[in-house]
């Protein structure tokens, strides 16, 4: 009987019934994994010039899937927010989402400097957010504000700045439609994250109204909408341009 005890998986915490945050980590890991398989396999059904975009979509959800496996276990074990895994995931996937924008806008003559500008804003946003959730937790509103400056930089580029101007110059309604959809993701979809941040216990503006555990539910919903949704918009664009007889030179 004693010998059997070494088989007890004491190292792996088990998802408890009623642990809704834990549920969303499990669902998130499966959804990200399934989305990656989908984007990778669909690469062969689109025109050559769209393959890189689908590859990047798949990489975004794949990187997220791996992080969700870790975050899921961290949560089950500690019932605490896996802040480090979360921000490592974001610091890899958010710049890749900027790459997606760039790949679309390249057709309209976007230069690499636009990509670097957007990546700079994202890093600013994420580093400030990380500091506000960890070292400077008592001052989370101040760091949230600093982070929001980076976020607004991206919103500006996409809605009013050079990215928007490039899209306006195009005469391709399909590409413009996809650009517009991605721009909405950034304005509305990405605005989900600051809500999660505001649940930081004590200093967060919503910490009285929402339990601290809602942070991860909000972040997990945001990730599902933004990573998978963003990829599906790219996929729809690629499919339209691969089937409607658009000449490659037009895009």
Ligand X SMILES: *C/C=C(C)/C=C/C=C(C)/C=C/C1=C(C)CCCC1(C)C
Residues that bind ligand X (CB under 6 A): 90, 93-94, 97, 125-126, 129, 144, 147-148, 151, 190, 193-194, 197, 223, 226-227
Q: Identify whether the C-beta of residue 150 lies closer than 8 Å to the C-beta of residue 118.
A: no
**Between 111 and 145, CB nearer to ligand X:** 145
Q: Which ranges in 43-82 belong to alpha helices (H)?
A: 48-78
Q: How far is the CB of 55 from ligand X (least distance, A)?
A: 17
Which CB atom, from 38 or from 246, has the smaller least distance to ligand X?
38
Q: Smallest gap, in angstroms, from Cβ of residue 160 to ligand X?
A: 18
CB of 144 to ligand X, least distance (A): 4
Using CB positions, name the residue nearest to ligand X. 129
- In the bound state with ligand X, the residue whose beta carbon lies nearer, of 125 and 175, is 125
Kindly state the smallest distance separating residue 226's Cβ from ligand X, in Å.
4
Over 137-148, what HEC string results? HHHHHHHHHHHH
Give the nearer residue to ligand X in terms of CB position, either 125 or 182. Answer: 125
Contacts of 163 (CB under 8 A, 6+ apart): 101, 105, 110, 114, 118, 157, 179
**Which residue number, 107 or 142, has a Cβ lying nearer to ligand X?**
142
Min CB(105)–ligand X separation in Å: 18
Report residue 195 as tokens: 């809500």
d(CA 243, CA 59): 24
Name the one residue in this structure whose structure tokens are 């001052």: 139
Euclidean distance between CA atoms 141 and 215, whole angstroms = 15
């Amino acid at each position: 009987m004693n010998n059997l005890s070494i088989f007890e998986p004491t190292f792996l915490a088990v998802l408890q019934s009623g642990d809704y945050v834990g549920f969303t980590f499990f669902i998130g890991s499966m959804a990200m994994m399934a989305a990656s398989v989908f984007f990778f396999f669909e690469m062969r059904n689109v025109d050559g010039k769209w393959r890189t975009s689908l590859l990047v979509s798949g990489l975004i959800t794949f990187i997220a899937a791996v992080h969700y496996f870790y975050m899921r276990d961290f949560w089950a074990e500690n019932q605490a927010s896996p802040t480090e895994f979360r921000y490592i995931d974001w610091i890899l996937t958010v710049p890749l989402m900027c790459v997606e924008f760039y790949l679309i806008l390249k057709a309209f003559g976007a230069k690499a400097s636009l990509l670097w500008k957007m990546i700079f804003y994202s890093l600013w946003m994420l580093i400030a957010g990380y500091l506000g959730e960890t070292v400077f937790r008592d001052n989370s509103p101040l760091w949230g504000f600093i982070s929001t400056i980076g976020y607004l930089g991206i919103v500006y580029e996409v809605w009013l700045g050079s990215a928007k101007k490039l899209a306006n110059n195009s005469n391709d309604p399909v590409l413009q439609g996809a650009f517009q959809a991605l721009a909405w993701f950034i304005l509305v979809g990405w605005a989900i994250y600051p809500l999660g941040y505001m649940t930081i216990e004590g200093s967060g503006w919503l910490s009285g109204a929402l339990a601290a555990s809602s942070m991860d539910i909000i972040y997990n919903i945001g990730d599902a909408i933004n990573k998978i949704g963003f990829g599906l918009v790219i996929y729809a664009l690629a499919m339209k341009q691969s089937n409607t007889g658009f000449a490659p030179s037009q895009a």
